Amino acid sequence: MSFASLGLIDPLLKNAQRLNYQTPTPIQVKAIPAVLDGRDVMASAQTGTGKTAGFALPLLQRLVQQGPRVSSNRARVLVLVPTRELAEQVLQSFVDYGEGLDLRMTAAYGGVSINPQMMKLRKGVDVLVATPGRLLDLNRQNAVQFDQIETLVLDEADRMLDLGFARELDAVFEALPAARQTLLFSATFTDEIRAMAASILRSPVDISVSPPNVTASKIRQWVVTVDKRNKPGLFMHLVAEKKWTHALVFVKTRDGADYLSAMLDEAGYAVDTIHGDKPQPARLRALERFKTGEVHMLVATDVAARGLDIDALPLVINVDLPIKPQDYVHRIGRTGRAGSSGVAVSLVCADEAPQLAAIEALIGQTLRREEVPGFEAEHRVPQTSATGQIIKKPKKPKKPKKPKKHKALQAPEAVQGIGKKQQPQGGKPATGGEGTSLSGPNPFSVTRPRSKPVGKPPAGSRKPADKPVGGRSKRPR
């Protein structure tokens, strides 16, 4: 099967060739002819399957071959995406695939000034990639009207609902011309998505290139069980021991992201963070630095989980499991892309057993477990099964005979020791153990241990675990 046999025109074939796309991926084989035919499409596709080209290539062709030129403050193809990062990325794909075609394209999303977006829309655009909230703002201000929309694409529809865009989406559906083509892409198909599909699609071509809700088979996945408070220590230990130099690291909270990033930084790794509280330009810059290899580690919260296209990423580390099992699929979908292999490691504590069980039920397999000597969990992670059951209640941990001095409890100094021994190539040298700037609280130990604390704390040191013990100095970003 070749791109030419799918009916694509020369400039698009040349662009695919320039990008070194030799053969179409399975979703492209199915989606491209259907979209060229003007059909509605409902596609269940994992991340990394090539779905963006699956809709962008045929839509670009339709834009150059048919329809009137776009009028001012109008768009002809509207692509809705859940996040700003994805908006930039999808726009870039359209620009790459459509090089040499005389088409105008832009992206619009919140968190940045609306005025430049209004200016770009003034002459009208052929392709508008937008997040739902900002799109409605622009529409209310008459910067964009919908009467010339020929095609609506919903990319990562499940994520849009997860992020609470249901009302905005309904408002957009209401405002669009009824006679249009609609393409719906979603990695997971919940009842909510099916209901939405039923209400907006007309006799869609149903495309599923792999069983829904299943993680890419080329990804090697396993779990390391550990107590929550020891996660940062174990993380740094694994990074150093396994010589992991390039990874996307997921954590639950912004504080967690900053904490791990500071640890990596102190150990000499080139690192950046990406989370929802960071201003948009800083988030895009962090992503760009990671993509270009300027930084080797990117610590992210779920805001970065979906759709980000990072070439040849070998490793995803979940320092925290996501709340929603679908997000696990999206997170680890950052690796093993377009047929390459990848590794996904998750550090799991006892509290996360329900999340682990839900993930295993979703992907239909029990994840292999490991323990790392020196980091064995005192609070055992209950056994789970691929049916989503938690098999046993955790045994009460035995009271240790003597206080156990745990490497990870000494973080960050212990971590620096590890970092110094195992310098990543190209990283800057670790700073000395003394005078470290990493003296803030460990955000992974905000819940009190269930067993009694071992050993008697020295007088005057009985601070709650979640109270700062002297502020961490601010690092330049």
**By the criterion CB under 6 A, which residues form the site for ligand AMP?**
21, 24-25, 28, 47-53, 309, 311, 337-338
In whole angstroms, how close is the CB of 197 to ligand AMP at the nearest point? 20
Q: Smallest distance, Å, CB 20 to ligand AMP? A: 7
Q: Order across the sheet with 219-225: list the strands.
A: 271-274, 297-300, 247-250, 315-318, 342-348, 219-225, 368-370
Residue 345: is it exposed, middle or buried by C-beta count within 10 angstroms (0-12/13-18/19+)?
buried
Residue 338 C-beta: closest distance to ligand AMP, Å:
4
In the complex with ligand AMP, which residue's Cβ is closer, 147 or 311?
311
In the block, residue with structure tokens 């990008």: 19
CA distances from 274 to 248, 300, 314, 332, 437 (A): 10, 5, 19, 16, 21
Compute CA 445 distance to the chain's CA centroid, rounded to the nearest angstrom. Answer: 25
The distance of closest approach from Cβ of residue 69 to ligand AMP in the complex, given in angstroms and rounded to an integer, is 28
User: Shortest approach of ligand AMP to residue 64 CB, angstroms?
Assistant: 20
- In terms of CB distance, is 96 or 170 closer to ligand AMP? 96
Q: Rounding to the nearest 10 degrees, give the CA dihedral for residues 117, 122, 128, 130.
A: 30
Q: Within 10 Å of residue 360's Cβ, how many Cβ atoms?
A: 21
Pick between residue 48 and residue 268 the one whose CB is nearest to ligand AMP: 48
What is the C-alpha separation between 56 and 63, in angstroms, rounded? 10
- Least distance from ligand AMP to the Cβ atom of residue 187, Å: 10
Please list, in sequence order, all residues whose beta carbon lies within 8 angstroms of the beta carbon of residue 241, skipping any fewer than 6 positions away: 418, 422
- Min dist CB 390 to ligand AMP, Å, is 34
Q: Tell me how far, at minimum, the Cβ of 21 lies from ligand AMP, in Å.
A: 4
Provide the residue type at 259 as one letter.
Y
Nearer to ligand AMP, 129 or 262 (CB): 129
Omega of the bond leading into 412 within 30 degrees of 0 (cis): yes
Q: Which is nearer to ligand AMP, 130 or 138 (CB)?
A: 130
Are 267 and 238 contacting, i.e. CB atoms less than 8 angstroms apart? no
CA-closest candidate to residue 437, choices 225, 259, 221, 229: 259
Which CB atom, from 57 or from 345, has the smaller least distance to ligand AMP? 57
How far apart CA 403 and CA 390 sit, in angstroms, is 31
* Tokens read off for 200: 């907006």
Minimum CB–partner distance for residue 142 and ligand AMP (Å): 33
Structure tokens at 404: 């156990």
CB of 88 to ligand AMP, least distance (A): 13
- Smallest distance, ligand AMP to C-beta of residue 26, A: 10
304: its two tokens: 């970065």
Q: What is the spatial distance between Cα 248 and Cα 243, in angstroms, rounded to a whole number?
A: 14
Q: Supply the minimum distance, in Å, between the C-beta of residue 99 and ligand AMP.
A: 14
Nearer to ligand AMP, 21 or 250 (CB): 21
